[in-house]
Structure 1
């Protein structure tokens, strides 16, 4: 099998040196609850860049303080956050990796001191101090994504990803399971897509680099979005100029999910070929040959690595050796590697 995993890939004007991405994973290490980068973040992400992952995507970073998954999340709702993120990018770029930021809003899953925002206020939401979003709230949130995109540019990120998966705010609007609004943001498939559409438009109005969107392409419920809905959403994103769909599943409701190695790859493969758009895949991808097969057989364009990179920052080095591929090594480590 010819190696494909370690070949470069281009997105607009940028080239990633390989098709491996550090998947965004919450670390809950903004210990002062201010959303600021800490020494942990600098070490955590730089070590994976040293380990030769082609693109380092940092964890879900909140566009509004009330949109944090926890009070220890990274934030980008203020210009005060830019300096720390600039340091982080300098460290990532120093090792030849591209940097990416995942802009997120937790919606009703937020756990802060502020009321959690939700598309539709239900009885079960009230226990979580939830607030149904007004049109003004929606407008403010869309603007927050735009302003966060501007800060992402100023901080030096190469790629922006909009978090539309795992039952967080954008996903809550997309899904009929969590969106029972009766205005222009609820009801029909077009209306449920409207929030994401407007966020994409606003981000693209200030950012001309590669734009990714993460989605949950299976809601594990018969009344949730189905495959044709996700193909529709993918086609809409393609028309808007989204460069890649980062395909995950689940998180909208509690569900028993049958997980196995590569259990989400088929979703990425289907969307890639039916919508003719680049996709990334994630989920129990741990072996080099497994990752190579995905790329070689055009099942996805990028492989996002999650927990395996928590266990092994140098997974890419070990994968290259397993696949008999020569890759560039950081000079200080050559004697050991």
Structure 2
């Protein structure tokens, strides 16, 4: 007689498998997705931020990717409540975050971030800093919205990412993630819609990867060979949900290959709904295609465990719990390697413990009220 595993025990079995990213072994397949919270006044993550991440680690999240943190460049951000990954006090705060997550049994990487042309002049933390980008074109296509980056600007930003990665290793983090998604600076170079440069950093798809690839290479040079470097990217942009870096697998490979060659150990492929096929004629999602094309481990993300995408959350919408069977089927086929969970983990710090402990019936629907607290 064949005994079929219950959905709950199947989830625990499949998600509990360890996975290796370069020199880091992650104890299971559950990742906490990076989510901007703005609970760090002065750019300084305090004890409440450390506790927030440690609670998720204690409940079984295998790898935590922190909220986006600004690198040490004055144009990198637009809020004095988003944490910064530079400055003595700020890095001391981050060291306590890493220590707290490790004490709870987790692994943690900071997401390093520069928002580029999304910034508006006059915004904190450095009000006089201009918005900078590949061509001075706003994320919405507005001409003259900021400054086209010079060679000196490029070098400064490359150095800021490399220095932040070096600091991350020095203060005890397990790797880094570079934010190259959602219409922010690195993505602005990757996307033809915002990159109109005529020098070596613009033109065809491969040329548009040069800036991001140089950042990856500079980071790789500053950290230990076994220190994982994750690169997050997306097709969609905050200002253009239907935008595409690549229309075909061949175009996607042209973009990803230089990044992999520069030293990316894993890709975090951001989609709004993980179950949507990326290209016609295949059921593979973006993470699945990324793994197939690069051979690197991949993280999938996009409304895991919920029936609505995260954009509705910012409009005050809730989401109901969605089954995990589709996700588990894809993991079992090795379509991707890890699964990043966002809003479900905001709603319930115990989400991983419930999924790994055969307690799927205890999962809670998402309420937008979860955005307002750091619980």
Quote the Cα distance in structure 2 between the aligned partners of 1:222 and 1:122: 16
What is the match of residue 237 of structure 1?
Answer: 259
Pairwise CA distance, 1:229: 2.5
Quote the Cα distance in structure 2 between the aligned partners of 1:184 and 1:260: 34
Question: Residues 73 and 177 from structure 1, CA distance in 2 versus in 1: closer, same or farther, beyond 3 angstroms?
Answer: same
Asked whether the 8 Å contact 1:65–1:77 carries over to 2, the reply is no
Pairwise CA distance, 1:239: 2.1
With 61-70 and 162-171 compared, the bigger mean Cα shift is at 61-70
Quote the Cα distance in structure 2 between the aligned partners of 1:167 and 1:222: 10
Asked whether the 8 Å contact 1:288–1:323 carries over to 2, the reply is no
Question: Residues 105 and 86 from structure 1, CA distance in 2 versus in 1: closer, same or farther, beyond 3 angstroms?
Answer: same
Residue 166 of structure 2 is aligned to residue 166 of structure 1 = no
Pairwise CA distance, 1:238: 2.3
Quote the Cα distance in structure 2 between the aligned partners of 1:195 and 1:98: 29
String of CA shifts for 1:239-292, please: whole Å, max 9, x gaps: 22311110014xxxxxxxxx6563377111112113222111000111444443
What is the match of residue 148 of structure 2?
Answer: 132
With 264-273 and 84-93 compared, the bigger mean Cα shift is at 264-273
Question: Residues 323 and 240 from structure 1, CA distance in 2 versus in 1: closer, same or farther, beyond 3 angstroms?
Answer: farther
Which of 280, 284, 301 matches 2:303?
284
Pairwise CA distance, 1:110: 2.3
Q: What TM-score do you get using the length of structure 1 for normalisation?
A: 0.86
Structure 2, unaligned runs of 5 or more = 278-283, 306-322, 361-375
What is the match of residue 333 of structure 1?
Answer: none
What is the match of residue 229 of structure 2?
Answer: 211
With 207-216 and 268-277 compared, the bigger mean Cα shift is at 268-277
Quote the Cα distance in structure 2 between the aligned partners of 1:223 and 1:27: 27
What is the match of residue 95 of structure 1?
Answer: 104
What is the match of residue 306 of structure 1?
Answer: 342
Quote the Cα distance in structure 2 between the aligned partners of 1:261 and 1:151: 32
Map 1:13-24 → 2, pairs under 5 A = 13-24=23-34
Q: What TM-score do you get using the length of structure 2 for normalisation?
A: 0.77
Asked whether the 8 Å contact 1:177–1:223 carries over to 2, the reply is no
What is the match of residue 132 of structure 2?
Answer: 117
Asked whether the 8 Å contact 1:51–1:316 carries over to 2, the reply is yes
Quote the Cα distance in structure 2 between the aligned partners of 1:185 and 1:214: 20
Equivalent pairs counted in the alignment come to 312
What is the match of residue 147 of structure 1?
Answer: 163
Pairwise CA distance, 1:218: 4.9
What is the match of residue 263 of structure 1?
Answer: 276
Residue 202 of structure 2 is aligned to residue 186 of structure 1 = yes
Quote the Cα distance in structure 2 between the aligned partners of 1:294 and 1:81: 39
